[in-house]
Amino acid sequence: MAEVHSGVCGLHMNGYVLVKKILRAGATPYLLVYGTEAVIPAEVEIPSLQIVAEAEIDDDEWVKTRLEQLSLIDEKRLVAVCHGQLYQKRMAKEYNKKARPRKFEVGQMVLKCILPHQAEAKGKFAPNWQGSFIVTRVLPNGALYLTDI
């Protein structure tokens, strides 16, 4: 940075021009502050060519470790999928503890819930339920056909 800053117009350039000159010289701001190039966390676990070049690791050794790490990726993905499925099962089990299944029969009188996105929802003090309806048909998945009284 001192080399770029010194020169014919060294002290007479603003910060923007100085940064442009430094970037043209091949240095990044991270390199200038910390003395090394930035490394993303994935490169620490699975070294890239940049990390290999800096650490001066033998090419054969790098290829061998890289292949081992790539073969473990499928196993890690499978473990992550299994954990996700177990989490979903636990959450469904907890939810279903509190949910009460309701059985409706043909001819039964019911009220219909007014959801916030429906046109019948007229504001904060509007009723949450609508009219008396009669169940005319019950579908296997729990859906109902209703008829207005």
CA distance 149 to 134: 7
Percent of the residues in the chain that have a pLDDT greater than 90, as a whole number: 20
Q: What is the pLDDT of residues 110-121, one digit of tens each?
A: 998 888 877 777
Whether residue 2 has pLDDT greater than 70: no
CA distance 93 to 84: 14
Q: What is the pLDDT of residues 75-122, one digit of tens each?
A: 777 888 888 899 999 999 998 898 888 889 999 999 988 888 777 777
Which of 19-33, 38-52, 54-68 is predicted most confidently?
A: 54-68
Q: What SS3 state is found at 111?
A: strand
How confident is the prediction for the chain on average, in pLDDT? 76
